[in-house]
């Protein structure tokens, strides 16, 4: 009886905590979840445990490990090397973004999330080499079967929020099978905010595949010698209009991280 009561109280506390974290999603009128890992406490926090373990396309968050693979294979020398604009891109799949239709460096492509740059690099890397690295890093389901070099925005390739965080932790402590120089370049490119109290490294992602908008914001905060990892994902039917879909990825994340005193 006592054990049953204890379990009931514990489950109620978990449900209450998840409901509190879920409020930010409801305020944005979006479904999704945030998964957080407190590195110092070795503790996981989630607004939806089931969703935290559900894999979907990574979209442009794949640029994190894609950058490491491109550097490691020598397909690109460093973040300043210029990739030539191929002359056209599929605006049906990627939308019309004339501001990115020009030669650009890897650094600029990462910041602007210029997908065409990474597609050009992917053609040179090849799926066999991708499979080797993704298997070694335990990244996603390694289903690259779609007949398209952009397998991270289309097809059956998928990764869960929990898996995203494990990859981010591998970047943070440099335990993934890449050179130290590659990690240094990537970490510098990932800096989104740098304040006296903390440094925030992150990457957004958004794919419109299958009639569904899948949006991500993943990254980590270094604060006073501690690290907090996060993976936020929002999903909606493309037929449902929500002009705040893109901005809500970050708004939801920052609201929750501030509530947990992980971000000032």
60 is known as an active-site residue? yes
Contacts of 22 (CB under 8 A, 6+ apart): 33, 47, 48
The b/e string for 111-138 (b: 16+ C-beta within 10 A; e otherwise) is eebbbbbbbbbbeebeeeebeebbeebe
From the candidates 47, 52, 60, 182, which is the catalytic residue? 60
d(CA 153, CA 205): 9
Catalytic residue set: 60
């Amino acid at each position: 009886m006592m054990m049953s009561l204890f379990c009931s109280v514990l489950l109620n506390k978990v449900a209450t905590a998840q409901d509190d974290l879920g409020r930010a999603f409801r305020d944005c009128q979006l479904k999704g979840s945030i998964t957080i890992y407190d590195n110092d406490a070795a503790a996981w926090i989630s607004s939806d445990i089931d969703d935290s373990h559900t894999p979907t396309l990574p979209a442009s968050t794949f640029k994190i490990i894609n950058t490491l693979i491109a550097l490691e294979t020598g397909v690109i020398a460093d973040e300043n090397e210029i990739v030539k604009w191929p002359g056209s891109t599929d605006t049906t799949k990627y939308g019309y973004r004339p501001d990115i239709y020009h030669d650009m460096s890897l650094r600029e492509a990462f910041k602007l999330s210029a997908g065409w740059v990474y597609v050009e690099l992917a053609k040179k890397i090849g799926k066999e080499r991708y499979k080797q690295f993704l298997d070694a890093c335990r990244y996603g389901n390694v289903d690259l079967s779609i007949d398209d070099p952009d397998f991270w925005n289309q097809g059956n390739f998928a990764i869960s929020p929990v898996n995203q965080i494990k990859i981010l932790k591998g970047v943070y402590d440099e335990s993934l099978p890449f050179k130290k120089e590659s990690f240094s370049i990537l970490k510098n490119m990932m800096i989104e905010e740098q304040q006296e109290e903390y440094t925030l490294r992150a990457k957004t992602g958004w794919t419109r595949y299958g009639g569904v908008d899948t949006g991500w914001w993943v990254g980590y905060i270094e604060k006073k010698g501690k690290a907090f990892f996060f993976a936020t994902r929002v999903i909606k039917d493309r037929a449902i209009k929500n002009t705040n879909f893109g901005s809500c990825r970050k708004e939801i994340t920052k609201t929750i991280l501030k509530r947990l005193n992980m971000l000032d």
